Amino acid sequence: MEREVSEPPPGDVRLRVEACGICHSDVVAVEGMRPDPSSPVVPGHEAVGVIDAVGPGVRTWRVGDRVGVGFLNGHCGACDFCRRGDFVNCQDQPQTGSDVDGGYAQMMMARASGLVRIPQALSPIEAAPLLCAGLTVFSAFRQIDGGPGALVAVQGIGGLGHLAVQYANKLGFRVAAIARGTEKSELATRLGADYYIDSAVEDPGEALKGLGGAAAIVATAASGASMSPLIPGLAPRGRMVVVGAGPDPIQVQTMDLIFGTRTVSGSLTGSSIENEDSLRFAEARNVRPMTEVMTLEQAPQAYERMMSGQARFRIVLKVEA
């Protein structure tokens, strides 16, 4: 559909979209899984573009700045969580492409507090998936209490996992990649994994124990059932960080948590400045997404391909001017 171009409201900017990644979380908008699905919304929360208008009160951004917008569309700065510096958990923060229009479009609005500067060395196609998938796994690794050479495991080698293996390797960890079947073994090694565990033929928790136990597990596959067997594979004081949003619960034995003082926690992307940290790290250490590029007009087909699980590994819409 076509809409008239409007001016950005106070505190917002308008950007001309150059590229937008397609993420599994787009299902919330596309399938109407919102409080008021009768109100239409444009999906897409991995958007890269150039600012072409700034709203009243915006002081730190200028027309022509190259920016991105991730899942979190900008914190309010006034709620209790913001006042304590916990911007990720801001209670008045729109979700891009779910609460407000996202990047499956030629133009979009965004809160200035949610904008992310894009390094010049990253193309729009490379940067788009890093704004959500990249930041999600990068933030998970920043929660880990493990030094260089510590063993970390990445469960699932897909849209999130193929980036997680790269980040873990570049951060200096020993990396165990976990997936079903042997199909992704060679890829995992090429991305930087030191070990490959085929969960279809061996218990992944026992396999991690055999490697000495994992200081951390980043669980990216959207399946609680596949995460549950991993917990016994954590070393003492190890942490499993869940970033794959599955529909089924994780089952955990209380003894596995108590004996070894292990932890299971979740991680929700990160703030806009943490997104810039992630992009700078990716730029400097050559972390790059594997992408399939389609046009904005192909958005319905691109979304269906993503949902089918056939994409390798992130689909990015290229938006023509």
Domains 12-133+270-318 and 144-266 alike in fold: no
pTM score of the predicted model: 0.96
pLDDT digits (tens, 9 = 90+) for 163-187: 999 999 999 999 999 999 999 999 9
Please state the rounded mean pLDDT for residues 137-161. 95
* 28 DSSP β-pair partners: none
> Which CATH code, of 3.30.420.40, 3.20.20.70, 3.90.180.10, 3.90.1560.10, is assigned to 12-133+270-318?
3.90.180.10
* Reported confidence tier of residue 223, pLDDT bands at 50, 70, 90: very high
Q: What angle do CA 92, 95, 101 make, to 5 degrees?
A: 120
* 115: three-class secondary structure by DSSP: strand
CB atoms within 10 A of CB 81: 17
Where do the domains of the chain lie?
12-133+270-318, 144-266
Tell me how far apart the alpha carbons of residues 202 and 228 are, in angstroms, rounded to a whole number. Answer: 14
> What distance in Å separates the CA atoms of residue 319 and residue 321, rounded to the nearest whole number?
6
Angle ∠(21,134,103) on CA atoms, nearest 5: 25
Per DSSP bridges, beta strands 314-318 and 151-155 are unpaired
Q: Residue 321 pLDDT > 80, yes or no?
A: no
Is the pLDDT confidence value at 39 over 90?
no
Average pLDDT, the chain: 97
pLDDT in tens, 231-258: 999 999 999 999 999 999 999 999 999 9
How many other C-beta atoms can be found within 10 angstroms of the C-beta atom of residue 11? 17
The fold for domain 144-266 equals: Rossmann fold (3.40.50)
Q: What percent of the chain stands above pLDDT 90?
A: 95
Structure tokens at 318: 């290229």
Question: How crowded is the C-beta side of 279, counted as CA atoms within 13 Å?
Answer: 30
Identify the CA nearest to 104 among candidates 47, 50, 51: 47
In the Cβ-directed half-sphere of 191, how many Cα atoms lie within 13 Å? 28
- What's the token pair of residue 242? 């869940």
301-308 mean pLDDT: 97
